[in-house]
Amino acid sequence: MSEVYNKAQLAKSVTGQLAKRSTAQKNEALLAMADALVRQAEDIIAANAEDLLRGKELGTSSSLLDRLALNEARIEGIAEGLRQIAALPDPVGDTLEQFERPNGLSIVKKRVPIGLIGIIYEARPNVTVDAAGLCLKTGNAVVLRGGSAALSSNRKIIEVLHQAMEQTALPKEALQLVEDPDRASVDEMLKMNGVLDVIIPRGGSSLIQNVVMNATVPVIETGAGICHTYIDETARPDMAGAIALNAKVQRPSVCNSMETMIVHRAYAEAHLAELAEQFRSRNVELRGCERTLHYIPWAVKATAEDYATEYNDYILNVKIVNDLDEAIDHITTYGTKHSECIVTETPEHAERFLEEVDAAAVYHNASTRFTDGFEFGFGAEIGISTQKLHARGPMGLPALTSTKYVIIGSGQIRN
Amino acid sequence: MSEVYNKAQLAKSVTGQLAKRSTAQKNEALLAMADALVRQAEDIIAANAEDLLRGKELGTSSSLLDRLALNEARIEGIAEGLRQIAALPDPVGDTLEQFERPNGLSIVKKRVPIGLIGIIYEARPNVTVDAAGLCLKTGNAVVLRGGSAALSSNRKIIEVLHQAMEQTALPKEALQLVEDPDRASVDEMLKMNGVLDVIIPRGGSSLIQNVVMNATVPVIETGAGICHTYIDETARPDMAGAIALNAKVQRPSVCNSMETMIVHRAYAEAHLAELAEQFRSRNVELRGCERTLHYIPWAVKATAEDYATEYNDYILNVKIVNDLDEAIDHITTYGTKHSECIVTETPEHAERFLEEVDAAAVYHNASTRFTDGFEFGFGAEIGISTQKLHARGPMGLPALTSTKYVIIGSGQIRN
């Protein structure tokens, strides 16, 4: 049997035991794990150095090396993340519905752990700890398959976490790391129906698409964001400019940042040239439709492919429209149903936009950058779901739970 | 382009329009559809006769022909189902959560339609109407792909429903029937990511497994049920016998019926022989473990394969255990996480069973046959989910919805 199969079965074997652990027991384990990471930071940094050296030899880009790199401050931050997860309310055991039937059956719908979760991610050791913490807090076992470029770091981290778990009520078998660097181990995970209850991919769009297109196990799709901000005719220029700039430049590399700014023609006539200068001063390259070029001669002509691209970079498409309908049509055509914003002082337009635009999060007069578990007040986030089943938008701890109907009778049989 | 692609795109093109329809408009359409079915029953029965004739020529079994057959009473029943769906509360637009953030952002989580749903099912014309009604009530467009043996019936039914819809506010494009009898049309549906938001298979296990193992579109898995009833040492014999018999024989062909009865050794010693006679008088074949044969000499020896089989028939496995742990272990090994029951007068045993058995529905002292949308009071049912994501157990109308975060700001940007 393969490594991934054996480890998944081992994790599966303790799901029942794990589901019975109390909130206090789970929190105690998370805190012990956090302390162990800090205490053994030196060992982890040494293991990380091996990954970094290998990465440099292979010519890995400096931005990828940066995501891979650990130091004391980063490890303290990762440990602090575990402590924050420990401090969050535990959704497991919550009663969601409770009703009695005319025949006297009492029915309760309760939150329960999902069971065994697979996480497939890139060479980011912080995700190893974060995913482990979120899954264990919700009573789930987890099989982690991180990018092989972080293997030495991940091995050491898991070793440290396992040692810490041994002193607690949580079975260490609940936390498994797949070490096989071969892509075949990912392919095998994707087909482990009946063993893995769900797979959550975390990473770039090629990683996510590989999981979505090849998994037979249920998947929670996260990530892709081609987000728009529509500046309507009546938008207040100060507000519209601040929101659009924030949505683009506050952190361009993330999924909830803006890729295309849609502007009403009257607003464009009055304000687009000035707004464009603000983007230029932030080093944002603008790509525009024919009409845009009239106001921003230095902009590049945008293609249909541009409108369909998630740049995650200092590049912005600009599209001028005649009315709200045209704006909504553009979003329907090119959006990825992640986060969409209208800036307007016309309440009827806001209402129509919020109603008609189909996305996980729709905004009136606020930056799309707020689509985030922490900003929503969930205290943690396993990702932002861009699918419509199970969870949509920022996913807090409840997204890592399932439900169960508990029915108490007194001998009822069906007629 | 293929038929299925064109029809799915057509349905997709009206999802926005459909999502805006009021509850009253949707209900009016459902009632008009119900009336049209009854009014044109004669035409539908004539089309159905073509299917039945073809089926007989092909040597289709009488039970399959019975599921395919329509008559006036059945069409009236199908129409009545639509009227009942119209009478149910509409979940779309419901506010699920509402909170304000310290920065003044107001966040509302609302129920919205999923969008475009694909239903793949067998040669049962009643499912055509039922699925159409449930999807339209929840503001979803739907692509139906029924068994080709019911094609004439389905074509006529859709024609009747389309005519009825033309007099209402619902776009008839929202309801599409794939007529291509080739399996390739199913395969194509399974991969229509970005067009279909979800596929729900309804039918036998081979149909469901084909969908689960080949779809890249998200799936809601329904159906398979290897359900157990555990009769504990302290069970009251009258209650235990009534529940076990009901779970097996009230309707053996459905997923929530019992396939294996687990009996505590002390209960077996005192009552199994008598209970076995009750099953025998109902023509139930018993297959038992070694110890069972001691009490029921006429029973057949059960194999591991028997314990893993969903008979949906007048066959029952019997397994004698030493204690609750052994009972739970057996269920964990062979159960499909559908519906599981304990009959006991020992509260601690009931509590442990309800807690530790991982299933969509766990029962204390009631028949597993109650796992059903109507019996739970949901008024309708699109199926019984046996997966852990999105929906678990009987799925009422809310299972056909997604959610959307609506965020109202006053110029907030992220720091």
The pLDDT value recorded for residue A381 is: 83
How much is the average pLDDT of B268-284?
97
Residue A413 and residue B198: Cβ atoms within 8 Å? Answer: no
Q: How far apart are CA B125 and CA B179, in angstroms?
A: 13
pLDDT confidence tier of residue A170, bands split at 50, 70 and 90 = very high
The pLDDT value recorded for residue A214 is: 94
How much is the average pLDDT of B107-133?
96
Q: How far apart are CA B216 and CA A249, in angstroms?
A: 35
pLDDT confidence tier of residue B204, bands split at 50, 70 and 90 = confident
Query: Does the pLDDT value for residue A223 go beyond 80?
Result: no
Q: Which residues of B touch A221 (CB under 8 A)?
A: 218
pLDDT confidence tier of residue B1, bands split at 50, 70 and 90 = confident
Q: Which residues of A touch B413 (CB under 8 A)?
A: 242-243, 245-246, 250, 366-367, 369
How much is the average pLDDT of A271-292?
97
The tens digit of pLDDT for each residue in B173-183 reads: 999 999 999 99
Residue A404 and residue B359: Cβ atoms within 8 Å? Answer: yes
- Check: CB of residue A126 under 8 Å from CB of residue A150: no
How much is the average pLDDT of B190-214?
92
From chain A residues 332-371, the ones with a CB under 8 A of any chain B CB are: 332, 354-356, 358-367, 369-371
As a whole number, the mean pLDDT across chain B is: 96
For tokens 């700014």, what's the residue?
A: A261
Q: How far is A16 from chain B (nearest CA, A)?
A: 7
The pLDDT value recorded for residue A265 is: 98
pLDDT confidence tier of residue A80, bands split at 50, 70 and 90 = very high
pLDDT confidence tier of residue B224, bands split at 50, 70 and 90 = confident
Q: One-letter amino acid identity for B387?
A: Q
Q: What DSSP element (H or E) covers A290?
A: helix A290-295
Query: Does the pLDDT value for residue A329 go beyond 80?
Result: yes
The tens digit of pLDDT for each residue in B296-338 reads: 999 999 999 999 999 989 999 999 999 999 999 999 999 999 9
Q: Which residues of A touch B405 (CB under 8 A)?
A: 360-362, 371, 376, 392-394
CA distances from B329 to A22, B321, B332, B341, B365 (A): 22, 10, 5, 14, 20
Share of chain B above pLDDT 70, in %: 100
To 5 degrees, how large is the angle CA B207–CA B371–CA B209?
15
Classify domain A3-221+391-408 at the CATH superfamily level. Aldehyde Dehydrogenase; Chain A, domain 1 (3.40.605.10)
The tens digit of pLDDT for each residue in A88-105 reads: 999 999 999 999 999 999
The pLDDT value recorded for residue B272 is: 98
How much is the average pLDDT of B168-175?
98
List the B258-264 sheet strands across, edge first. Answer: A95-100, A106-113, A401-412, B361-366, B339-343, B227-231, B258-264, B315-321, B285-288, B300-301
How much is the average pLDDT of A40-57?
97
Query: Does the pLDDT value for residue B63 go beyond 90?
Result: no
Query: Does the pLDDT value for residue B25 go beyond 80?
Result: yes
pLDDT confidence tier of residue B223, bands split at 50, 70 and 90 = confident
The pLDDT value recorded for residue A33 is: 98
Q: How far apart are CA B245 and CA B19, in angstroms?
A: 46
pLDDT confidence tier of residue B127, bands split at 50, 70 and 90 = very high
Q: One-letter amino acid identity for A290?
A: E
Assign a CATH topology to domain B227-370. Aldehyde Dehydrogenase; Chain A, domain 2 (3.40.309)
- Check: CB of residue B310 under 8 Å from CB of residue B259: yes
Q: Are strands B95-100 and B106-113 parallel, antiparallel or unpaired?
A: antiparallel
The tens digit of pLDDT for each residue in A333-352 reads: 999 999 999 999 999 999 99
Q: One-letter amino acid identity for A184?
A: A
The pLDDT value recorded for residue B205 is: 82
B110 and chain A in contact, CB less than 8 A: no
- Check: CB of residue A82 under 8 Å from CB of residue A31: yes
Q: Report ipTM (2 d.p.).
A: 0.92
Q: One-letter amino acid identity for B191?
A: K
Which of A57, A85, A55 is closest to A70 using CA atoms?
A: A55
The pLDDT value recorded for residue A380 is: 78
Of B366, B405, B412, the CB nearest to A412: B366
Q: Which residues of A touch B193 (CB under 8 A)?
A: 212-213
Q: Could you write out the DSSP letters of every residue in B261-290?
A: EEEEHHHIIIIIHHHHHHHHHTT-EEEE-H
Best to test chain A binding among B351, B395, B402, B415 (most A CBs inside 10 Å): B402
B250 and chain A in contact, CB less than 8 A: yes
The pLDDT value recorded for residue B409 is: 98
Of B99, B107, B387, the CB nearest to A218: B387
Which of B202, B213, B226, B232 is closest to B338 using CA atoms?
A: B226
As a whole number, the mean pLDDT across chain A is: 96
The tens digit of pLDDT for each residue in A175-195 reads: 999 999 999 999 999 999 989
pLDDT confidence tier of residue A139, bands split at 50, 70 and 90 = very high
CA distances from A71 to A84, A144, A257 (A): 20, 22, 28
A403 and chain B in contact, CB less than 8 A: yes
Q: How far is B15 from chain A (nearest CA, A)?
A: 10
- Check: CB of residue A23 under 8 Å from CB of residue A130: no
Residue B20 and residue A354: Cβ atoms within 8 Å? Answer: no
List the domain boundaries for chain B.
3-221+391-408, 227-370
- Check: CB of residue A246 under 8 Å from CB of residue B413: yes
Structure token pair of residue B316: 């029952």
How much is the average pLDDT of A297-320?
96
pLDDT confidence tier of residue A397, bands split at 50, 70 and 90 = very high
Residue B370 and residue A99: Cβ atoms within 8 Å? Answer: no
Q: How far apart are CA A334 and CA A405, in angstroms?
A: 40
Residue B332 and residue A371: Cβ atoms within 8 Å? Answer: no
The tens digit of pLDDT for each residue in A58-76 reads: 999 988 899 899 999 999 9
